[in-house]
């Protein structure tokens, strides 16, 4: 029998923490609750969880401060923000600081479980690829081969410009994770790209979707997080 994956819940509202904890336990996860930021950081060091669910409105410190400390650790743990703060600016800030995902309260159990599975799969992929660069990514019938600089849709090769391929490559490596506009701009066009000017990215994304024959209103591969960025859908 495989060992259960451990999830640390840093949430000060006990009713919400208990609700999430019951759902996770029923789905065969081991749960560790923390009701303040400092308690959460202490339990992180002592238990080494596989994933952290982090509320931003904690009683002793802001959740973003907790996130900053988590992201300063040598070993990165996936972090999913669970918060009632639904402003785009809050989401973008948390994601740019290294959060893996952002779920707004109230949320459904099935949605949260799907985000957790996706973050854990991505974490496993990154661990396996450390020191051994992965060359091929598969998303449904879409294949991205980094070594050959090749994209296949089924058996058909799709040709992209250099920057279009860089965008697809980045989204595939982080499949399931929301990448903010600024994150993509800086990785594709460099650190001095114009923050906040997303037009060049939108044009490239429109070309990518046209070549993949994808309907933006019913995406098969790339989902738009309005006002925030893009996410490569993860099987």
- What's the confidence (pLDDT) of residue 1? 44
Q: How far apart are CA 88 and CA 166, in angstroms?
A: 25
Q: At residue 98, does pLDDT exceed 80?
A: yes
8 has a pLDDT exceeding 60 = yes
Q: What is the CATH number of the domain that holds 116?
A: 3.40.50.2300
- Asked if residue 179 is part of any domain, the answer here is yes
**72 confidence band (pLDDT: 50, 70, 90):** confident
CATH at residue 165: 1.10.10.10
Q: Clarify whether residues 141 and 195 are in a common domain.
A: yes
What is the rounded distance in angstroms from the CA atom of residue 23 to the CA atom of residue 3?
Answer: 18
Within a domain: 64? yes
**Residues 16 and 99 both lie in one domain:** yes
Clarify whether residues 123 and 187 are in a common domain: no
Tokens of 175: 């499949």
Decide the pairing of beta strands 150-153 and 156-158.
antiparallel
- The string of pLDDT tens digits covering residues 142-180 is 999 988 889 999 999 999 999 999 999 999 888 888 899
CA nearest 42: which of 25, 61, 57? Answer: 61
Task: Quote the number of domains for the chain.
Answer: 2
Inside any domain, residue 1:
no
Q: Which has the higher per-residue pLDDT, 126 or 169?
A: 169
What radius of gyration, in Å, describes the C-alpha atoms of the chain?
A: 18
pLDDT digits (tens, 9 = 90+) for 171-227: 988 888 889 998 999 888 887 666 667 889 999 999 999 999 988 778 889 999 888
58 burial type by CB count under 10 A (0-12 exposed, 13-18 middle, 19+ buried): buried
Residue 2: what pLDDT? 57
Do both 185 and 74 map to the same domain?
Answer: no
Structure tokens at 157: 């090769």
Residues 77 and 147 in one domain: no
Boundary residue ending a domain (104, 129, 154): 129
* Residues 55, 143 within the same domain: no
- Domain identity same for 175 and 83: no
Same domain, 193 and 115: no
Model pLDDT for residues 10-53, shown as the tens digit of each residue: 999 999 999 999 999 999 999 999 999 999 999 998 998 999 99
Nearest to 54 by CA among 115, 99, 117: 99
How far apart, in whole angstroms, are the C-alpha atoms of residue 128 and residue 205? Answer: 29
pLDDT at 59 over 90: yes
Q: Give me the pLDDT at residue 227, please.
A: 87
Is 171 part of a structural domain of the chain?
A: yes
Claim to verify: residue 125 and residue 140 sit in the same structural domain: no
Which of 102, 129, 156 is where one domain is finished?
A: 129
Domain range for 164: 136-232
């Amino acid at each position: 029998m495989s060992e259960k994956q451990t999830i640390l819940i840093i949430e000060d509202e006990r009713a919400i923490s208990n609700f999430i904890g019951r759902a996770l336990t029923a789905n065969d996860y081991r749960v560790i609750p923390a009701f303040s930021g400092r308690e959460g950081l202490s339990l992180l060091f002592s238990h080494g969880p596989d994933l952290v669910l982090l509320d931003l409105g904690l009683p002793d410190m802001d959740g973003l401060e907790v996130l900053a400390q988590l992201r300063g650790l040598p070993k990165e743990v996936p972090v999913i923000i669970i918060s009632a703060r639904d402003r785009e600016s809050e989401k973008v800030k948390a994601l740019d600081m290294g959060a893996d995902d952002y779920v707004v309260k109230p949320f459904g159990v099935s949605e949260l479980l799907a985000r957790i599975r996706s973050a854990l799969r991505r974490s496993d992929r990154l661990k396996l690829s450390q020191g051994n660069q992965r060359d091929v990514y598969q998303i449904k019938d879409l294949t991205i081969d980094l070594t050959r600089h090749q994209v296949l849709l089924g058996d058909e090769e799709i040709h992209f410009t250099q920057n279009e391929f860089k965008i697809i490559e980045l989204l595939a490596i982080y499949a399931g994770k929301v990448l903010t506009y600024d994150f993509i701009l800086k990785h594709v066009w460099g650190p001095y790209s114009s923050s906040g000017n997303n037009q060049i990215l939108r044009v490239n994304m429109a070309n990518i979707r046209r070549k993949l024959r994808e309907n933006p209103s019913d995406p098969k591969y790339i989902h738009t997080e309005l006002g925030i960025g893009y996410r490569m859908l993860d099987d």
